[in-house]
A and B are shown apart, each in its own frame.
Chain A
Amino acid sequence: MSATTAAPSARAAVAVVSQSPARLAWRRFCRRPAAVAGLVVVMLFIVVAAFAPLIAPVDPVKTSWSLIRKAPSWANWMGTDENGRDVLSRVIFGARASMLAGVISVTIAAGIGVPVGLLAGFAGGKVDAVISRIVDAMLACPFLILAIALAAFLGPSLQNAMIAIGVTAAPVFMRISRGATMDAATNEYVEAARALGNPPWRVAVRHILPNIVPPVMVQATLAIATAIIAEASLSFLGLGQQPPAPSWGSMLNSAQRFLTQAPWLAVFPGAAIFLAVLSFNLVGDGLRDALDPRAK
C-alpha cells in the first residue's frame, strides 16, 4: 500500500519543485478573485482603447446642434455633451488617452528610475550618496504640483503631460530599484558571478536586474493607476489632452459648467477613471501578494 501511495506523492512533489517562480506567482495571483476581476477589467480597458474606432458608435468629435445636452437614451447610451457629441464614444476614445498616458509615463519613469537605481544600489559609496540626495530632492516636490509645473513650462499637450508625469514618477522607481539591488547584491550567486571574473556591468545587468523585476513590476502596476489619475488631473486643469480630442479629465472639466442641466456629463467619465484606477490597484495589490507572499 505504501509503495502505491508513495509513487504519486513523489510525482506531485517533483511537479511542485519543478514549477517556475513565475508560474507559482501566477497561481497565487489566480487565488485572489479581486485581483483576477481587476485584471479582467484592465484587459477590457486595453481592448476598448486599442479598438476604439471599431467600438465607438459615432465619431467622438462630431458635433450636432440638434443633439445638444440630450439625456442618456437608446440612441445615445451616455447622453450627449454641450456640443451634441456622443458621450459614450468620447468615453471610449478617452480610454485611449488614459491607457496611453498610464503606460507611456510609467515606461518613462521606469526607463529613468530603474537604471539609475540599479547604478546607485550596485556602485554604492559616493555615487549612491549623490543619486540618493537627488532622489530625496525630487521626492520633496509634491507629485502633482511638480507635474503641473513641468507641464506648464513644457506647454499643454498630452505628450508633455506624459513626459511630466513620467519624470515626476521616476524617483519612486529609483528608490525601489536601489533598495532591491542592494538586497540582491548580497546573494551568493552575485558573489559567484563576481568571483568568476564577470565585469561589474555584466553582474548588474545579467544577475541583479532580473531579480529586481518583481518589486518593479508591482510598482509599475500601481504607478499606472497613479498616472491615469495624474493625466486626468492635468487634462482637467487644461494641461493635458487638448480639445476637441476626448480625455476623461477634460470631459469632467467641461461637465462642471453644466452640472444642473446635464449631470450625466460628469458621471460617466469620472466613473471610467474610478473603474480603471481601481482595477490597476487591484492588480497591483494582487501582484504584490503573489510575488512576495510575506508582504501584507
Chain B
Amino acid sequence: MKSHLGTRILQVVPTLLLVSIIVFGLQQLMPGDPALVLAGEERDPAVLAQIRAELWLDRPLPVQYFHWIGNVLHGDLGFSWRIRQPVAQLVLEKLPVTLQLGLMAFVIALSIGIPMGILSAVKKNTFWDYVANGVGLAGLSTPNFWLGIMLILLVSVKLGWLPPSGYVSLFEDWRQSLATTIMPAFVLGNAIAAVLMRHTRSAMLTALEQDYVRTARAKGLREYIVVLRHALRNALVPVVTLGALELGTLLSGAVLTEQVFSIPGFGKLIVDAVFNRDYPVVQGVVLVTATVYVALNLLADVLYVLINPKLRSA
C-alpha cells in the first residue's frame, strides 16, 4: 500500500510541472503586447521598456518561465494589474467563500444523490427507478446558471423566501450566511447529486448481486439491514472516491453560480479578472484550481486504498 501511495505522490510532481507550463503558456496566447495593455494610454517607449523589464518580458521564454515558477514556489503568484494587490492575497481572501459554498453544495449533493441511487437500485425497473433516473438525467442536463435564475425567480421574486443575491460571512451572521448561500449551494450541488446518484445506483446493483448479500438474505436478515449494512458499505467504496473528484468539479461550477448570485468568491474573481484583462489573476486562479484538483485526485486515490480492505492489506 505504501509503495502504491509513494508512486502516486511521485506522479503528481510531473503533472503539476506540466500544469504550470500550460498555465504559463496561456499568456503567450494573448494577442498583442502585455506591456501595451498595462501602459494603457501611455505609449512612451521608455515606459514600455521599463514595464517589459519589470515583468521580465524582455527575456527569452524559458527564462521568463523559470522566473515565474520560482516566484510561484515561494508563494508569489504575481501582482494584479488592476486591483494592485498580490494575486496570492486575493486568492486567499476569496477562497474561503467558495469553499463554504462548495462544502455546502457537496453535503446537499450527498444527501440527495446517495439515497436516490440506493432507492433506484433497490427498486430496479420500477416506477421509483424510472423517476430517480429521470431526475438524475435532468440534473445532468440542466445548466446550473439557468437553474439559479429560475430559483431566484421562484424562491426570491415570487415567494420572497430567500435573498436573490449577495453574501454574508459565516462568522458575521451565520443565519444570514446560510440564507444567502443555501440556494446557490443547491444549484451547485444539483449536477453533482445526479452524478453521485448514477454511480451509487451502478455500485449498488453490483453489490446486491454478490454472494455475501445472498448469504445475508439467506440468514433471514431484514431487507433494510441487508441493503444498508451489507450492500451499501461495499458500494460506497467507489462512490466516496468519485465524490472526492467531484469536489474539484464544484470549483468549475462555482464560476457561474457565483456570477448569478453575485457571491464574491473565487469564481467571480476569475470572471472579473477576465473582463479587466487582469491576466496574472487569471493565471493564478487557474493554477490554484488545478493544484487543488490534483490534490483532490490524490486524496481520492488515498481514500480508495484506505477504505478498500483488499487494497489496504496488499
Q: A residues touching B (Cβ–Cβ < 8 Å)?
A: 133-134, 136-138, 140-146, 148-150, 152-155, 225, 229, 232-233, 236-239, 252, 255-256, 259-260, 263, 266-267, 270, 273-274, 277-278, 281-282, 285, 296
Q: Is the CB of A133 within 8 A of B270?
A: no
B residues within 8 A CB of A146?
286
B residues within 8 A CB of A140?
15-16, 19, 290, 293-294, 297
| Chain A-chain B contacts (Cβ-Cβ < 8 Å), number | 133
B residues within 8 A CB of A143?
252
Chain B contact residues, majority secondary structure: helix
Q: Which residue of A lies closest to B146 (CB)?
A: A270
A residues within 8 A CB of B260?
256
B residues within 8 A CB of A137?
14-19, 21-22
Contact of B157 among A141, A259, A273, A282 (CB under 8 A): A259
A-B contact pairs, 26 of them (CB 8 A): A133-B14, A134-B18, A137-B21, A141-B290, A142-B249, A142-B289, A145-B285, A146-B286, A148-B270, A149-B270, A149-B274, A150-B26, A153-B26, A153-B282, A229-B143, A232-B145, A236-B145, A237-B271, A255-B149, A256-B149, A263-B153, A270-B143, A277-B141, A281-B137, A281-B140, A282-B137
B27 CB within 8 Å of chain A: yes
Most buried by B among A137, A236, A281: A137
B residues within 8 A CB of A133?
14-15, 18
B103 CB within 8 Å of chain A: no
Q: Give chain B nearest CB distance to A130 CB in angstroms.
A: 10
Contact of A238 among B15, B137, B275 (CB under 8 A): B275
Interfacial residues of chain B within 136-166, with CB under 8 A of chain A in the complex: 137-138, 140-143, 145-146, 149-150, 152-153, 157
Instruction: Contacts A232-B145, A233-B256, A259-B149 known; list 13 others, CB within 8 Å.
Output: A136-B11, A137-B19, A142-B249, A144-B252, A144-B256, A149-B270, A149-B283, A259-B153, A260-B157, A270-B146, A270-B149, A274-B138, A281-B140
Q: B residues touching A (Cβ–Cβ < 8 Å)?
A: 11, 14-19, 21-23, 26-27, 29-31, 137-138, 140-143, 145-146, 149-150, 152-153, 157, 202, 205, 248-249, 251-253, 255-256, 259-260, 270-271, 274-275, 279, 282-283, 285-286, 289-290, 293-294, 297
Q: Is the CB of A278 within 8 A of B141?
A: yes
Q: Is the CB of A296 within 8 A of B30?
A: no
Q: Give chain A nearest CB distance to B238 CB in angstroms.
A: 14
